[in-house]
């Protein structure tokens, strides 16, 4: 057994009581292998703890050597932001739909975790974005994102207008429904549905993908992940900033939204047979034979 994993935290899908059976089966399996198990407090409130210690994200960050997330990509996004500062590595068990970040199938969960405990895994670092909203001289909002930071029209039924600068250089004024700023991880999420590029996780880039731009010349672009991106909302518009589709903040005309690579990162552990391109073939159905009509 890998001595690095002495304490493992289990985190379940938000409002997903259906994961209870899998989670408790995994907890019992880990206990039988001599592993100390922590159940995240929100998960325990939903599915029960069955006598296993309950822990907050802060406690998991301080005590756990690994976190196993049972759910979909949304569950992984939440856990990643919560545990980024502590640097706890993540493993995903797919209980959702597409599951771009959850490698282990539910039916193969115990075998996959057994391999992890034996040191049979691949480690991969994924970048995070840090988004800051400044209103005047004050910081009004700050958060992390693993997938993307999105500035959009919020509840409004009309386009918004804003200026985009990169590393202090003005790039363009844009009139659109908004702008997606995506990491390579997030390039297969919202950005993909907006015709953005797919970035391999090893590509040191950040994608800027317009949402329904008024000018067809506004195209997706990819910039260095060392870049600092700034968006200034023009009057009289109001808009909203989203982080991973889970956190939000309403912004006003004149607010400055700054997005840059965070000093923190997330470490994913994959099975030895993991292939990014095989994952894309499966999730995006690239290997299917074209239909004849």
Active site residues: 73
Dist. CA 200–CA 206, nearest whole Å: 11
Kind of pairing, strands 169-176 and 160-166?
A: antiparallel
Dist. CA 105–CA 189, nearest whole Å: 20
Contact 51, 227 (CB under 8 A): no
**Rg from Cα positions in the chain:** 20
Q: Which of 211, 212, 182, 217 is nearest to 197 (CA)?
A: 182
Count of CB atoms within 10 A of residue 146's CB? Answer: 27
Number of residues that make up the chain: 293
């Amino acid at each position: 057994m890998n001595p690095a994993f002495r304490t493992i935290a289990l985190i379940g899908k938000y409002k997903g009581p259906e994961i209870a059976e899998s989670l408790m089966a995994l907890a019992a399996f880990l206990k039988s292998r001599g592993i100390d198990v922590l159940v995240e407090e929100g998960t325990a409130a939903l599915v029960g703890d069955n006598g296993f210690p309950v822990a907050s994200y802060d406690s998991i960050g301080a005590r756990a050597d690994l976190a196993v997330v049972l759910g979909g990509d949304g569950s992984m996004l939440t856990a990643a932001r919560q545990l980024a500062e502590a640097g706890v590595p993540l493993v995903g068990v797919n209980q959702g739909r597409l599951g771009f970040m959850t490698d282990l199938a539910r039916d193969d969960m115990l075998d996959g975790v057994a391999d992890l405990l034996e040191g049979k895994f691949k480690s991969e670092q994924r970048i995070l974005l840090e988004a800051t909203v400044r209103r005047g001289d004050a910081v009004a909002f700050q958060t992390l994102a693993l997938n993307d930071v999105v500035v959009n029209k919020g509840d409004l039924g009309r386009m918004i207008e804003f200026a985009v600068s990169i590393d202090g250089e003005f790039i363009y004024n844009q009139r659109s429904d908004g702008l997606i700023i995506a990491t390579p991880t997030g390039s297969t999420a919202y950005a993909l549905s907006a015709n953005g590029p797919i970035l391999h996780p090893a590509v040191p880039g950040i994608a800027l993908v317009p949402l329904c731009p008024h000018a067809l010349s506004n195209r997706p672009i990819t910039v260095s992940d060392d870049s600092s991106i700034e968006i200034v909302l023009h009057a009289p518009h109001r808009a909203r900033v989203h982080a991973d589709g889970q956190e939000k903040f309403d912004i006003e005309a004149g607010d400055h939204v700054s997005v840059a690579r965070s000093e923190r990162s997330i470490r994913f552990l994959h099975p030895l047979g993991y292939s990014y391109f095989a994952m894309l073939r499966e999730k995006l159905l690239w290997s299917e034979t074209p239909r004849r009509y």
